[in-house]
Structure 1
Amino acid sequence: MSLVKYKQKRNFSKTAEPESGKKGKATSHIFVVQRHHASRLHYDFRLEVDGVLKSWAVPKGPSMNPADKRLAMEVEDHPYDYKDFEGTIPAGNYGAGTVYIWDKGTFEILHPNGNSFDKEALREIKSGDLKIVMKGKKLKGEFALVKMKGKEDNAWLLLKHKDEYAVSEYNSEDYTPEKVKAQGLKEKAAMKQASKKKPVIRAKTAPAAAPAKQKKITGGHPVKKRYKPMLATLVNEAFDGEEWLFETKWDGYRAIAAVENNKVSLYSRNDKSFLKDYPPVVAAVEKISHTVVLDGEIMVLDNKNRADFQTLQHYTTTGKGHLVYMVFDLLHLDGYELQQLSLLERKSLLKDLLSTLNDDTVRFSEHALKNGTKFFEKARKLQWEGIIAKKTDSAYEEGRRGMSWLKIKIVNEQEALICGYTAPRGSRKKIGALVLGIYENKKLKYIGHCGGGLNEATISELYNRLQPLVTKTSPFAEKVATNMPVTWVKPVLVCEVKFQEWTSDKIMRQPIFLGLREDKPAKEVQPEIAKPLTMTTTENQRILTLNSKKVTLTNQSKLYWTKEKITKGQLIDYYLSVAKYILPHLKDRPESLHRFPNGIDKPSFYQKDLDLEQTPDWIKSVPLHSGSTGKDVDYLVCNNEASLAYMINLGCIEINPWLSRLNSLENPDFIVLDLDPEHIDFRYVVETAVHIKAALDRFKVQAFCKTSGSTGLHIYIPTGAKVSYDTSRLFGEYIARHVNAELPRTTSVIRAKASRDKRVYIDYLQNSRGQTVAAPYSVRPKPGATVSMPIDWKELNDDLRMSDFDIHNSLDRLNETGDLWQDINKVKNDLRKIIREMEGQ
């Protein structure tokens, strides 16, 4: 009977997990710890008791250090045969992700009381205090599982006792197959073998494992069909940093190469195959005797060993030029996904790998450590395009443009869309100048004409490529002034141009055509404006000038998310990068400060009343009377970037504004319905939101939706500040109870947690003076640094997850979609009229 929940959650026709399984005659009791890459990496800790595996999810993994108190969330029992399960649970199934065995062994009860083993173990589990002795390869000695008082029913702590096996420092991640493989590969054993033999990379056996002969390791992860390249953010100057390395910015086509069973895939960032275009690269990569996935740049080198992008443009037709695949990252090796290794570890493995390949076509991209300014000066003298700065401990984040990889350009360059061409003048034929554009907030924007860099051969090639794209109408919404007739084309072809500078109207000055970008998707062509270096400084303190105010930012390297290695400085960088989107939603609203001075894992506190003696005089504040204390409270008001940076520097990971503004504090601008799931799947939150939308549509009420960034959804109903909080709350309650009546089994309007277990709580009580809700684009103090993200109603589906939007990818989404809530303050639902209609029903 204890396996009922386990079976209910799984479809055994779609997952290879065991449906059941019984123990044989063995008298010892086993334990197993499985490392589980699901929506979040965690460790599943399982103990054999009474014929099943009692199970706990341990987010940070077990520790041999008695000082570590590991949270362990009790989950459903698993069948005995689950002790041997390894593999991938397919997407769409419960627990989707990859599972492998991290440790395995037997265990005993520490203080048996004469009961049978199972009876005593069940008694101690029921009492919330289980003490055991573990005999594994990694986990040895005395441990305790202690149930936490006053917490969730399933919250426990996994503790190591002080004994002969205890250690002072321990990291579960040091014992993963990836790390073990990295350690072995660095030995470079047997690299220089006889010339007739194919060299192989050998690896040591894992720590604490029985001695074994060295052999080539192969893991169980198949090569994925496609890998998305990690991207770099443009900054405006070079810098030095202890935790940074610096590479040449190669001027070519970004390419992913995958080799499996000597078969090669070679493709661009926009998924275009390069197999037929660059045969020498394919032939060279094909020689690699391992299963690998490489990330690098295909380019043509000139006689000074510099990348020649224009020669590369014509390589597919001329075959001329010294073709090279410059590789700078390794994503997969012999069955192991390596993205979570640090950059230095990946590059070390990559260098070892490529040293066995005697083909100059594939090269290792060298780097310099720490001294970026010196490296940049070298780049300038050698006339490189620029340099790339990368954090040495950074993971590989597929498809993301974060702050761990930065690029510093020597020459201003911009990807642009060819939107048309002007008629030629003088001796030039077919094309006079290219009319260029980029996407900004989903709208195509004109950025200038480009006639420089176009020779006869280039013009002829471009003309032929553009003819099938000719259209009668301009792709721009605004009128574009030209001095010659224009032939408009569909904005499909991407080109690269260099230019002097951006004008005040955001037009390129003196652009010169460099070539077509076959490797870039047209929809991703957006303005690339360099961020100030101060936003990426590696110093522990920095001073920014924002809104003509000097803002001192402290403890910039302090980790706010320990597991994700996200610092306070990175959090501030995020908020400044989205300032133009978030500030309109904060303007003239009192802020309740929720401060996390030491990150999400340490205690936090709320502060409403500013200490004005310690606050800069340029910070706006407003005194408001507090009914609970009978005193005036000085609230912070955040109307600009300087105030935003100051507030985040106080440790405010999330931003919590009032629902009303200073000019109408008693009348909120919105009614908010907060959908909070209590031990129920997120799809029911989506279902509830859809029903709320349908109910509002019946009254012709326009509403907006966003993820909470925590567990649920927020639905905002604009009111135009025309009604009081009391009226707003009554309307919210009406809608909540209406939907609760439609979905009585999965929703609740009762605040008490016991009454809403396994239901979605529709919270309408936030609609009171002084109550706050996390702002749109606010980061939340949750694992993964998730963001409260406005979404289109069409995005409400079973695939929606909190983890879809985080500190790393939110800016890219904003650049693509713009602010979906930019018109929320223009919407003014006539709530009085709607209430009259409701009363008349």
Structure 2
Amino acid sequence: MKPMLPSLTFELPKGSDWVYEVKYDGFRAILYWDSAGIRLESKNGKSLMEQFPEIKSFLETNKAKFAPFLPFILDGELVFLENAYKANFHSIQVRGRMRSEKKIAEKANTSPCKLLIFDVIMLNGKKIQEENFLLRKEKLTALFKKCILPLLPDEKSTELVQLLPYYQNFNEIWENVILFDGEGIVTKQVTNKWEEGKRTSLWLKYKNWKYVNCFITAYEKSNGYYYAGVFQDDQIIPIGQFLFGLKPEEKIALFQIIKENMLEEDNQFIYIEPAICVEVKYLEMYEEQMREPHFHQFRFDLKPEACTLNHFIQGQKNLPPGVEITHPEKPLWATPSLQKIDYIHYLREISPYMLPYLNNRLLTVIRYPHGVLGESFYQKDCPEYAPDFVQTHMDDGIQYIVCNDLKTLLWLGNQLAFEYHIPFQKYSQQHPSEIVFDLDPPSRKAFGLAIKAAQYIKEIFDQLELIGFVKTSGNKGLQVYLPLPDNTYSYEDTRLFTTFVANYLLSKEPRLFTIERMKKNRGDRLYIDYIQHAEGKTIIAPYSPRGTMEATIATPLHWDEVNDHLNIVDFQIPSMIQRLNKVGDPFQHFFQTKEIQKFTPVLDFLKK
């Protein structure tokens, strides 16, 4: 069965008989479940189950939930969900090209994809594609409610089949698509029928275009493509090629200008000096090329020198309303060389992974107004000039910032807040949400002590059937986390456990570890700060940058990475997103672990 397809539009239809869904960059997928079994097929009719076995495994595990609705045919998008409004195109492409069963299985386990369902074609063996869209959506929503499956896309959920809902308010959904750098939306006419294989004008895709000013460098004779570039100093940086968007008369005129001003010509190309400036719209950069580029307009008012790589980079993410980035070219780090716009891009990309740990916690930041080479200062009080969307909470006479959303995070980034320190509990609660062991060696040269201590703590956790997580501090140590149910155990309870672990390490290796508070009495031993885990104390948040010369990150690790090859400096701002795409998020199941943590039996034993 070939799916119904949307048509591209540059103008939204008017009227109240249209609704909106988020558009995700993934693989269109139709799910069949009948007497022949489970099948997941691409828009070209190819099986996707071999490449994405996690979907079949999830469906089979939940067969009892789905049984009352079988047989059915559901229409959806297979995605690697980056946040609630964006799928990672690169990640799904990598998965789609994999052929090794072992590597596929590893990815399915560490970085599972999700199937977002937005339509239903058959339910209980009855074909319903002739029914209107709203009625189909109503039946689909009822299915998800009865199966107790997510009614919204959720990148953190372990439920791999999720509902893609519709919205009636365009502005609400569009602001979030812009904010989270989504691909765009699909607007659907409310009485449409599901028509097999048809590219319809009743489903319209409206994309979140980015715009770049560039110049033409060459014309490809075989296919009519125009190659574009920008300047970095005196060097031409190619950014891709475009064809669509030009009117027939514009193509003729442009070709004539290129022919008259060519530098040289070979069998494939006509080359020209940078002279013709154009504005091109595109979705995003993928493998150093613009994705889906379209000609937008000629820029006769620009000189080629104005088309720079810096301006191109600055325009790669549309800013949400109310967020302004000032002085984007300001240098912040020297090695690696990072400007303010690079830092803002990092915060934007890392936000789905970092924001859950900042949620409803009183935030202390360290700001570097002049970059890492300048002076820094701690900031707890929210400044009076903060915009209205910044949430705050008063505690002990201090108006703390509470960073619950991307807009606030980007605003803090523009204020050059480099470090994000959080307490161990949410502001509405009295008890900790996790235990954290801060393993602080006397210097980076002694980092091996932190590795040794973390390995010992992991042994303790395994013996006690506890589930722990580990991250670098981003400076010179490691931090080991034990997630707990929120607001369940007191700080006195957790102190019993931290004291027990500290004393155990001390008994194992008294020459390597110490609980001595006075620095002068520690010698070359690693300090196990079990007292630091207390009300009012803070810890660096997962994925927060640090104000180090190397732009290091407080990076979550897989436990098998905690070995003698581990190096703090391997985890920096420029490489963090690539790392996540490659090895997944080691803290992916952090919050789900809270509900299954077997801490009470351990605590009961320690209280005896």
Structure 1-normalised TM-score? 0.37
- Corresponding residue to 1:669 among 433, 455, 470: 433
Deviations 1:621-644 (A, max 9, x none): 11112xxxxxx2111111221111
Equivalent position of 1:485 in the other structure: none
- Whether contact under 8 Å (1:667, 1:723) holds in the other structure is yes
- Which amino acid letter does the alignment assign opposite residue 374 of structure 2? K
Equivalent position of 1:277 in the other structure: none
- Corresponding residue to 2:376 among 604, 607, 631: 604
Correspondence 1:76-91 to 2 at 5 A: none
Matched, 1:718 2:483: yes
- Whether contact under 8 Å (1:551, 1:645) holds in the other structure is yes
1 CA distance for matches of 2:575 and 2:440?
A: 24
Matched, 1:650 2:415: yes
Q: Give the match's secondary structure for 2:428.
A: helix
- Corresponding residue to 1:588 among 353, 360, 374: 360
- Which amino acid letter does the alignment assign opposite residue 618 of structure 1? F
Q: Give the match's secondary structure for 1:552.
A: coil
- Whether contact under 8 Å (2:326, 2:414) holds in the other structure is yes
- Which amino acid letter does the alignment assign opposite residue 603 of structure 2? I
- Corresponding residue to 2:393 among 615, 622, 630: 622
- Corresponding residue to 1:709 among 453, 474, 480: 474
- Which amino acid letter does the alignment assign opposite residue 393 of structure 2? V
- Residue 544 to residue 526, structure 1, CA distance change in 2 (3 Å): closer
Equivalent position of 1:570 in the other structure: 342
Q: Give the match's secondary structure for 1:553.
A: coil
2 CA distance for matches of 1:374 and 1:597?
A: 32
Matched, 1:638 2:398: no
- Residue 411 to residue 774, structure 1, CA distance change in 2 (3 Å): farther
2 CA distance for matches of 1:528 and 1:642?
A: 26
Deviations 1:285-332 (A, max 9, x none): xxxxxxxxxxxxxxxxxxxxxxxxxxxxxxxxxxxxxxxxxxxxxxxx
Matched, 1:691 2:456: yes
Equivalent position of 1:407 in the other structure: 239
1 CA distance for matches of 2:230 and 2:446?
A: 41
Q: CA deviation at 1:730?
A: 3.4
- Whether contact under 8 Å (2:513, 2:525) holds in the other structure is yes
- Which amino acid letter does the alignment assign opposite residue 793 of structure 1? W
1 CA distance for matches of 2:350 and 2:237?
A: 19
* Larger relative contact order (Cα-Cα within 8 Å, sequence gap ≥ 6): 2
Unaligned runs of 5+ in 1: 1-371, 395-403, 413-499, 503-523, 626-631
Q: CA deviation at 1:662?
A: 3.3
- Which amino acid letter does the alignment assign opposite residue 652 of structure 1? A
1 CA distance for matches of 2:289 and 2:581?
A: 9
- Corresponding residue to 1:819 among 562, 585, 605: 585
Deviations 1:179-238 (A, max 9, x none): xxxxxxxxxxxxxxxxxxxxxxxxxxxxxxxxxxxxxxxxxxxxxxxxxxxxxxxxxxxx
Matched, 1:373 2:219: no
1 CA distance for matches of 2:292 and 2:605?
A: 53
- Residue 618 to residue 560, structure 1, CA distance change in 2 (3 Å): same
Matched, 1:729 2:495: yes
Q: Give the match's secondary structure for 2:480.
A: strand
- Which amino acid letter does the alignment assign opposite residue 790 of structure 1? P
1 CA distance for matches of 2:398 and 2:385?
A: 15
2 CA distance for matches of 1:817 and 1:528?
A: 25
Deviations 1:345-398 (A, max 9, x none): xxxxxxxxxxxxxxxxxxxxxxxxxxx83424866999447546574499xxxx
- Corresponding residue to 2:528 among 755, 762, 778: 762
2 CA distance for matches of 1:694 and 1:839?
A: 21
- Residue 792 to residue 749, structure 1, CA distance change in 2 (3 Å): same
2 CA distance for matches of 1:651 and 1:409?
A: 35
2 CA distance for matches of 1:662 and 1:409?
A: 51
- Corresponding residue to 1:790 among 546, 556, 559: 556
- Which amino acid letter does the alignment assign opposite residue 604 of structure 2? R
1 CA distance for matches of 2:422 and 2:573?
A: 20
Equivalent position of 1:741 in the other structure: 507
- Which amino acid letter does the alignment assign opposite residue 552 of structure 2? T
Deviations 1:248-304 (A, max 9, x none): xxxxxxxxxxxxxxxxxxxxxxxxxxxxxxxxxxxxxxxxxxxxxxxxxxxxxxxxx
Q: CA deviation at 1:720?
A: 1.2
Q: Give the match's secondary structure for 1:639.
A: coil
- Whether contact under 8 Å (1:702, 1:827) holds in the other structure is yes
Correspondence 1:114-133 to 2 at 5 A: none
CA RMSD of the aligned region, Å?
3.8
- Residue 735 to residue 601, structure 1, CA distance change in 2 (3 Å): same
- Residue 758 to residue 540, structure 1, CA distance change in 2 (3 Å): same
Deviations 1:416-472 (A, max 9, x none): xxxxxxxxxxxxxxxxxxxxxxxxxxxxxxxxxxxxxxxxxxxxxxxxxxxxxxxxx
2 CA distance for matches of 1:587 and 1:648?
A: 17
- Residue 737 to residue 392, structure 1, CA distance change in 2 (3 Å): farther
Unaligned runs of 5+ in 2: 1-211, 245-280, 294-307
2 CA distance for matches of 1:732 and 1:526?
A: 48
Q: CA deviation at 1:810?
A: 0.9
Equivalent position of 1:138 in the other structure: none
Equivalent position of 1:103 in the other structure: none
Correspondence 1:774-789 to 2 at 5 A: 774-789=540-555
- Residue 742 to residue 814, structure 1, CA distance change in 2 (3 Å): same
Equivalent position of 1:834 in the other structure: 602
Q: Give the match's secondary structure for 1:739.
A: helix
Q: Give the match's secondary structure for 2:580.
A: helix
- Which amino acid letter does the alignment assign opposite residue 757 of structure 1? G
Q: Give the match's secondary structure for 2:324.
A: strand
Q: CA deviation at 1:501?
A: 10
- Residue 539 to residue 769, structure 1, CA distance change in 2 (3 Å): farther
Equivalent position of 2:190 in the other structure: none
Deviations 1:626-678 (A, max 9, x none): xxxxxx211111122111110111111122222212332x2121111111111
User: Could you say which structure has the larger radius of gyration?
Assistant: 1
2 CA distance for matches of 1:643 and 1:779?
A: 16
Equivalent position of 2:266 in the other structure: none
Q: Which runs of 4+ in 1 moved over 3 A?
A: 376-394, 404-409, 524-531, 535-546
- Whether contact under 8 Å (2:214, 2:230) holds in the other structure is no
- Whether contact under 8 Å (1:674, 1:762) holds in the other structure is yes
Equivalent position of 2:516 in the other structure: 750
2 CA distance for matches of 1:723 and 1:385?
A: 64
Deviations 1:83-142 (A, max 9, x none): xxxxxxxxxxxxxxxxxxxxxxxxxxxxxxxxxxxxxxxxxxxxxxxxxxxxxxxxxxxx
Equivalent position of 2:248 in the other structure: none
2 CA distance for matches of 1:406 and 1:836?
A: 64
1 CA distance for matches of 2:538 and 2:234?
A: 37
- Corresponding residue to 1:810 among 576, 587, 598: 576
- Whether contact under 8 Å (1:671, 1:716) holds in the other structure is yes
2 CA distance for matches of 1:708 and 1:388?
A: 40
- Residue 784 to residue 744, structure 1, CA distance change in 2 (3 Å): same
Q: Alignment identity in percent?
A: 29
Q: Give the match's secondary structure for 2:401.
A: strand
Correspondence 1:481-496 to 2 at 5 A: none
- Residue 647 to residue 408, structure 1, CA distance change in 2 (3 Å): farther
1 CA distance for matches of 2:511 and 2:433?
A: 32
- Which amino acid letter does the alignment assign opposite residue 639 of structure 1? N
Q: Give the match's secondary structure for 1:663.
A: coil
